Amino acid sequence: MGKLRKKRYKDFKLNLTDYDYALPRELIAQNPLKDRSAARLLIVDRSLQSISHRTIGDLPLILESRDVLVTNDTKVVKARLVGKRTDTGGRWEGLFLESHADGGWLLMSKTRGKIEPGESIRLSSGVATRNLSATVNISLMFQEKLAGGIWRVVPNCKVHWT
């Protein structure tokens, strides 16, 4: 059982490096268990400052009448982007966060070196062009760096019909 460090929400800052860690593929669930109640559950007990491991089937034994259980039924969207820096040819990775009505995107960016406003990234192929005789090229123009490694970018899409 590990010790927990209390952190207040107002002190929380989102940094891309907080999500950069090695996780062995064999530890990532690829499919749900046949017996869903056997799925693993991480228990954080703040009063004891401890962490323990149980199963979903143990929830009736764990929850108390004053507890609130929040479920997440959202679907995971494949939002990982891979490309090359136009100026240097260096590898670039990003995580799409959201789009805005003006056509701009927010994304987290990871690359060696420092990206500057005005720099451009050319996304690797992989854009769905099913049943089309076309090549799609997408580039991202970095406009403004926000807190926590988040960037405001403008996508540029060019379609070349063949």
Q: Is 86 exposed, middle or buried (0-12, 13-18, 19+ CB in 10 A)?
A: middle
Q: Tokens 């869903």: give the residue.
A: 36
Confidence of residue 16 (pLDDT cuts 50, 70, 90): low
Confidence of residue 54 (pLDDT cuts 50, 70, 90): very high
Q: Which of 30-44, 93-107, 134-148 has the highest mean pLDDT?
A: 30-44
- More confident site: 132 or 15: 15
Confidence of residue 128 (pLDDT cuts 50, 70, 90): very low
- So where are the chain's domains? 9-62, 80-161
Q: Is the model's pLDDT at 9 over the cut of 90?
A: no
Q: Is the model's pLDDT at 146 over the cut of 50?
A: yes
Q: pLDDT tens digits for 70-109?
A: 887 776 666 788 888 888 888 888 888 888 888 888 888 8
2: Cβ contacts below 8 Å, ≥ 6 apart: 50, 51
Q: Across residues 15-44, what is the average pLDDT?
A: 82
Q: Is the dihedral of CA 70, 76, 77, 81 positive or negative?
A: positive
CATH of 80-161, one of 1.10.3720.10, 3.30.70.920, 3.30.450.20, 2.40.10.240: 2.40.10.240
Q: Across residues 14-41, what is the average pLDDT?
A: 81
Q: Round the average pLDDT of the chain to a whole number and report it.
A: 77
- More confident site: 40 or 27: 40
